[in-house]
């Protein structure tokens, strides 16, 4: 903290252990958000492909 006194060795060790546990847990939330975003982008692309692109290519080519 900004206004706290110097930490003891035990407090520093406890803080380091807490940091190790947090870092060791990994970035599961970030991976979940990235996976959801990727799924949304693929779904939007698939909808565009099925509803816009395919109907335009199956039309008649002559006047």
The dihedral of CA 47, 53, 58, 59: what is its sign?
Answer: positive
User: What distance in Å separates the CA atoms of residue 36 and residue 44, rounded to the nearest whole number?
Assistant: 12
**pTM of the predicted protein model:** 0.54
* Predicted local distance difference test score (pLDDT) of residue 61: 54
Q: What is the pLDDT of residues 13-53, one digit of tens each?
A: 999 999 998 888 878 888 999 999 999 999 999 999 999 88
Query: What would the mean pLDDT of 3-15 be, rounded to a whole number?
Result: 84
Is residue 49 within a helix (H) or strand (E), and if so which, with residue range? none
Buried b / exposed e over 20-59, threshold 16 CB at 10 Å, is eeeeeeeeeeeeeeeeeeeeeeeeeeeeeeeeeeeeeeee
């Amino acid at each position: 903290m900004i206004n706290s006194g110097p930490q003891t060795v035990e407090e520093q060790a406890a803080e380091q252990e807490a940091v190790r546990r947090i870092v060791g847990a990994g970035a599961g939330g970030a991976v979940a958000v990235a996976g959801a975003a990727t799924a949304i982008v693929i779904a939007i692309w698939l909808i565009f492909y099925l509803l816009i692109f395919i109907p335009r290519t199956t039309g008649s080519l002559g006047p």
